[in-house]
Structure 1
Amino acid sequence: MIGEIIAVGDELTTGRIVNTTSAFAARQLFLAGHSIQAMQTIGDAPKLIGEALKRAVSRAEFVLVTGGLGPTSDDLTNEAAAEALDRPSTLHPEILEKIRAQPWADLSALEKLAWLPEGAEVLNADGRMAGHLLVHEAVPVFFLPGVPSQAEKLLTETVLPRLAGWLGGRRSAVRTRLYKTVGLCECEINQRLLALESDRRVSVGYYPVGGEVQVSLSVAEAGEAAAESLFQEADGRIRAALDRHLYGTDKTSLAQALGMLLREKKLTLAAAESCTGGLISAKITAVPGCSAWFAGGVVAYSNHLKECLLGVDAELLRQHGAVSGPVAEAMATGLARRSGADVTVATTGIAGPDGGTADKPTGTVYIGLWQQGAARACLQCFCGSRHEIQEMTATAALDAVRRAVC
């Protein structure tokens, strides 16, 4: 189904709070086979909320509205919907009863939660923020709270199942997948997949994320069997085009993909970090069960700690500088000797914004890799902010290990 998302709240339009709820909803809806054609963020202005609602209902097959359902005076979504859609506010006694049963001091403000637009169906009567569904001119409009955890719970547990059965057997069968790559730029991937895009039943999208490029695939056909056949054909073509640059799909992270490889090959990994400051280790330790394959990491930022903790020779640092291939190799080698890990990776570079020179500008990074008694280093040149360079370096380092152990 084709939908729209409307997020309501002055805290969003003033930038006080980042609108993560819409991003989460769009992602989950996409993975469920739906297409979001528009996303809007609107302040607590009833007239604007009403105009956005009427416009969305006139052109979408479903609408998702988040925010403005609370008890305070600036929570105006329900009032705006009642006015714009000509559905007078109606008391829901079951909600009012639950509110009055709570041991809260001021019930008068909370009783506002029991007044919903006429025809609204409560989505979760037991929840703190119930949310509701309003079918207007055959278009389902889901109203969810703005608190991310509450909205996400209602979306996954209630909204997605309701949408899945909305059109019954009349809806097209949809298959989707997200492909995650490292080492190819967005334009190169696009060129490799142009022929696939010529099929109107197939939709392909490209999304740079940090040091990666993610590729989305969505296919739609009249029947389940036909959709599956088309999906498998498109999937095969994408995998062939991306080749070794593809590390995983959907929710798999690069660290997870690397961990699965290391587990399979019964290898352990350790990381020596300078410019990434522990980011590689953080990405790895976010993966449950990583202790089976990750020995640990060392953040050796100063030359002194490179010498003391990793055994990098002071003369090597003097001759080549900390940001160099020989030092990256020495860091990886020194960690291998001290950790006993099967594979070690090291990063040293200039993340900026200061510290760059004509010979080694900001973004100059060396990644060292030690495996089976031999060390090597590769030069990377990144652009962006300090955080972006660190993120791209960590991604490149993890990918270097992935390719080495494949």
Structure 2
Amino acid sequence: MTAAILSIGTELTRGELVDTNATWLAEQLIALGFDVPEHATVEDEAGVIVEALQRLAARAKVVIVTGGLGPTSDDLTAAAAAQAGAQALVRDPVVLDVIKKKYASFGRVMPEENAKQADRPEKATVIPNPVGTAPGFAMPLGNATCYFMPGVPREMRHLFRETVVPAIAGQAERNTHQLHLRTFGRTESRVAGLLQGVEEEFGVTLGYRASFPEIEVKIHARAATEADAERMAREAAGAVRQRLGDCIFGEREDTFPDAVGRALRDKGITLALAESCTGGMAATMLTSVPGSSDYLLLSAVAYANSAKSRMLGVNPEVIRAHGAVSAEVAAEMAEGARRISGASLAVSITGIAGPGGGSEDKPVGTVWFGLAAEGHPTVTRHRLFPGERDQIRTLAAYTALRLAMRSALGHVGD
């Protein structure tokens, strides 16, 4: 069974906002067994919305629509849906009362403009929105049932999970299974090259999505039954894991900081970070995870040479002799961070992120890492990263955390 996605918003067609809703919805629909042959994005113009709705509803059995349900003059989705279905646009008194009460719970009076959010096509069914002011609605149109939801991602996802999924889950043939493996450490072309032959061997389809600096590998299997499809996908995933090794850090919703934190916590390892060119990026990534204080003891940003000496005890003579971006300084930064924090592991970062500051011997993108682990000699690692300043800093922060994760897993200095 086919499903289509329609995203409404001039901010999307102008490139002012990235449409993350469509990506998320497509993944959810495919997981439910739907084919999703088309995503459409249209501006906030009634005639364009009407045409898109009628066209998609003639081709798909389910149409998921997001955006244009707000209180402003350019929010035209409800009116366009009514026009597309040749229905009257009505103001629902029950919905209007809910919106008023929601504002009252905040100690506010509902602005008159928000009354518009109670409008719906006459034959539509309201989809309540407990996490926002704009309810959704569902209505038949052409060959399809159309589900209209707010464009705010948090609200849209809630309505989709709580209302739309129960309504459509039984409509598609459940004979597919999809797995997502998330990686860091190899380029998209290298990942694809390593996985040549997997599709043919296991009868699956592989897809790749780059979200710098990560690469996601999607394994899609279709079979006579859902159980067979799941088996095929998992067998293929085993081959993918074998070929890509530990550059795979998680599945689907796992984040890289989640994976690093999980490795540290599972092994009972505490971490200290000493950052220079990354300016605290690695620590920011780790502390985005609740409970990171269980394993992150110290984050020291020692940007200036004097700070490296004063905060971390780096010998000024070592800096003068080898430069701040060197194996020797990276080692002393890591050792100092471990000494003052009492952590079982410390990782340091010192590099040249650019655009200036490079030389023939140490070009922009040169980064040194130090790793000081309890019971092991201090080791250093060198990388030369490509890209602009932000890319170099991001790659350096990821690499430092990958060193910490691999150390926690028993690969000290690998």
Cα deviation 1:232-267 (Å, max 9, x = unaligned): 222222222222221211222222222222222221
Q: CA deviation at 1:139?
A: 1.7
The 10-residue stretch of structure 1 (91-100 or 178-187) with the greater mean CA deviation from structure 2: 91-100
Q: Which amino acid aligns with 2:342?
A: G
Query: SS of 1:194's equivalent?
Result: coil
Q: CA deviation at 1:274?
A: 0.6
Q: Which amino acid aligns with 2:354?
A: G
1:357-372 equivalent positions in 2, closer than 5 A:
357-371=359-373, 372=375
Q: Hey, what does 2:348 align to over in structure 1?
A: 346
Cα deviation 1:127-169 (Å, max 9, x = unaligned): 63210112223322211112333223212222233222234xx
* Stretches of structure 2 lacking an aligned partner (at least 5 in a row): 410-414
Cα deviation 1:324-372 (Å, max 9, x = unaligned): 2221111111111211211111111111222222322222111211123
Question: Match for 2:143 among 138, 142, 146?
Answer: 138
Query: SS of 1:225's equivalent?
Result: helix
Q: Hey, what does 1:38 align to over in structure 2?
A: 38
1:2-401 equivalent positions in 2, closer than 5 A:
2-29=2-29, 32=32, 34=34, 36-96=36-96, 98=98, 109-124=113-128, 128-167=133-172, 171-198=173-200, 202-371=204-373, 372-401=375-404
Q: 1:49 to 1:272 in 2, by over 3 A?
A: same
Q: Which amino acid aligns with 1:3?
A: A
Query: SS of 1:277's equivalent?
Result: coil
1:369–1:376 CA contact under 8 A, matched in 2: yes
Q: 1:2 to 1:280 in 2, by over 3 A?
A: farther
Normalising by the residue count of structure 2, what TM-score does the alignment of the two structures yield?
0.88
Q: Which amino acid aligns with 1:223?
A: T
Q: CA deviation at 1:215?
A: 0.8
The whole-number CA distance in structure 2 between the counterparts of 1:283 and 1:35 is 36
Percent of residue pairs identical? 38
Q: CA deviation at 1:48?
A: 1.6
The whole-number CA distance in structure 2 between the counterparts of 1:125 and 1:247 is 35
Q: Which amino acid aligns with 2:207?
A: G
Q: CA deviation at 1:16?
A: 4.9
The whole-number CA distance in structure 2 between the counterparts of 1:87 and 1:384 is 54
Q: 1:312 to 1:105 in 2, by over 3 A?
A: closer
Q: 1:373 to 1:227 in 2, by over 3 A?
A: closer
Query: SS of 1:315's equivalent?
Result: helix
Query: SS of 1:235's equivalent?
Result: helix
2:32–2:174 CA contact under 8 A, matched in 1: no
The number of aligned residues is 403
2:100–2:110 CA contact under 8 A, matched in 1: no
Q: Hey, what does 2:412 align to over in structure 1?
A: none
* Stretches of structure 1 lacking an aligned partner (at least 5 in a row): none
Normalising by the residue count of structure 1, what TM-score does the alignment of the two structures yield?
0.89
The whole-number CA distance in structure 1 between the counterparts of 2:382 and 2:367 is 6
The whole-number CA distance in structure 2 between the counterparts of 1:305 and 1:312 is 9
2:59–2:143 CA contact under 8 A, matched in 1: no
